[in-house]
Amino acid sequence: MARLPAGIRFIVSFSRDQWYRAFIFVLTFLLYASFHLSRKPISIVKGELHKHCAGGEAEPSFSGQSSSAGHRPPRQLPDNETDCGWAPFDKNNYQQLLGALDYSFLCAYAIGMYLSGIIGERLPIRYYLTFGMLASGAFTSLFGLGYFYNIHSFGFYVVTQILNGLVQTTGWPSVVTCLSNWFGKGRRGLIMGVWNSHTSVGNILGSLIAGYWVSTCWGLSFIVPGAIVAAMGIVCFLFLIEHPKDIRCSSTLSMHSKGYENTVDRFRLHKPVLHGEKSRPLDPEMQCLLMADGKSSICPSHVVVLPGDSGNSMTAISFTGALRIPGVIEFSLCLLFAKLVSYTFLFWLPLYITSVDHLDAKKAGELSTLFDVGGIFGGILAGVISDRLEKRASTCGLMLLLAAPTLYVFSSVSKMGLEATVAMLLLSGALVSGPYALITTAVSADLGTHKSLKGNAHALSTVTAIIDGTGSVGAALGPLLAGLISPSGWSNVFYMLMFADACALLFLIRLIHKELSCPGLTAGGQAPLKEH
């Protein structure tokens, strides 16, 4: 009997469950990467919406050509030096107008996120996510149609951004919940650190796609990413599997590495707690969690066994109930400031590079992708360190502590030349994106499956939405503040970012102290999960 080819032996070496799990990992990665791909064009096109021209403001006839030009974009001007950009962004207050565009999108995103988690956990994930992606593709493309239909109304672009921000909130709670359904806690930091690189991958692809057309036809910089998001929405509808039980797969990833429990045993169904057990004293873990006056110095070293997923038998958790989970408020407020820094870079970095290194919009957009490359490594590094140390808050705190001085160095050396800018983009991207990536993935999943939830699978979407929604408030404030502060000098913008990093670290102090004083606790105060 002939020996099987090496490729076939590789395929059959994995079980059916493992192949399905890998498929969901890749699919959710691509789905959310397409969301970020559609968010990036606005930052690339900013350099084209307003150009630094020698002839002052755009000629008055620029905004009045729509009546005679029909649907043809009025891009050819007699003297290119008088073309200050696309009205109304060609005026001296362009930074405030561009900042308002960012704020419109991100404020709508932040408000919608709180509602999205509550709505999403009551609807099938596949339908909810498909709707969001199709709608997002439509509104992203609508912004680009303003170029082809010669639209110069500021209100049009603001409303488009608001609607796009609302529908994009369907993405994050859906993909995190789906991925957490398929993967257990074993090596969650590493798995989600790798998976969370979809943010940077989407930003890089969005920058390259938008940059390809930005100087010739910036409308396509929005229409092409919009079409990609819509196409991925169709893929989502056809292929997304919400839960392993839908195809009779095991509900967790089997891990046998030292320091991690056998997740099949950990997630097997357990008997419900009897009413008589309510009178029993708190377990050592909960005593350590609740100690506020330092009376108890004993920290748990025992194993905590999470009750199994009870399917749909439990009702969705309330908003206030999710807030009472230990660690949710602290990590939410930390993410508010961490995301403020990250999204300021996301929306303003290409324009900053254009101003400092005097590059055109296309080259600045390409160079800005190095920040996202650094973010990929930062997210993975944060996941690996937090898994090894079993300290999520301490890992985030360390990276935030290093990020603030790094941003100061970045603001100084980026003016010295292109080589210095490249190096600092990579380092800053790693330190800024690391805590942001860890909180929005592994920490959110940890808190969404906290012991106090007693296996309620419906809580994860709400917890994820609360954390990311609060972070999105910072994401809305960051670009807006950058637009208001940047006219006084880019150095002041960096001081604002450093102050935000310090605030993010401040909100983690209590959790860091708890992790260091109770070495057995992880995010939210859970004991590490080990074999028993």
Check: CB of residue 285 under 8 Å from CB of residue 268: no
Record the pTM: 0.70
CA distances from 169 to 35, 73, 133, 162, 166 (A): 10, 32, 10, 11, 6
Residue with tokens 């609302």: 166
Among the listed residues 513, 501, 503, 291, the one whose alpha carbon sits nearest the alpha carbon of residue 393: 513
Give phi and psi for 354, each to the nearest 5.
Answer: -60, -40
> Region 39-54: what's the mean pLDDT?
81
- Tens digits of residue pLDDT in 338-367: 999 998 988 888 888 887 777 777 788 888
What six digits make up the tokens of 417? 């030349």
Among the listed residues 172, 104, 171, the one whose alpha carbon sits nearest the alpha carbon of residue 135: 171
Beta bridge partners of 85: 50
Whether residue 172 has pLDDT greater than 70: yes
* Conformation bin of residue 24: beta by default, left when phi > 0, alpha when psi is -120 to 50: alpha
The predicted structure's pLDDT at residue 369: 86
The predicted structure's pLDDT at residue 248: 81
Among the listed residues 365, 352, 347, the one whose alpha carbon sits nearest the alpha carbon of residue 475: 347
Check: CB of residue 334 under 8 Å from CB of residue 394: no
- For residue 70, with 0-12 CB atoms within 10 Å meaning exposed, 13-18 middle and 19 or more buried, which class applies? exposed
> Region 76-80: what's the mean pLDDT?
41
Q: What is the spatial distance between Cα 487 and Cα 493, in angstroms, rounded to a whole number?
A: 10
The predicted structure's pLDDT at residue 287: 39
CATH 3.40.50.300 describes domain 12-49+86-244+318-517: no
Whether residue 211 has pLDDT greater than 70: yes
- Tens digits of residue pLDDT in 83-130: 678 989 888 888 788 888 888 998 899 889 888 877 877 789 999 999
Write down the domain spans for the chain. Answer: 12-49+86-244+318-517
Rg (CA), the chain: 24
Q: For CA atoms 181, 521, 526, 532, give the dihedral sign.
A: positive
Alpha carbon 362 to its chain centroid, in Å, reads 24
The predicted structure's pLDDT at residue 57: 44
Whole-angstrom distance between the N-terminal and C-terminal Cα of the chain? 43
Q: Is 404 helix (H, G, I), strand (E, B) or coil?
A: helix
- Which range of 21-35, 320-334, 372-386 scores highest in mean pLDDT? It is 21-35
Give phi and psi for 50, each to the nearest 5.
Answer: -135, 125
Alpha carbon 501 to its chain centroid, in Å, reads 17
Q: What is the spatial distance between Cα 285 and Cα 287, in angstroms, rounded to a whole number?
A: 5
Check: CB of residue 45 under 8 Å from CB of residue 146: no
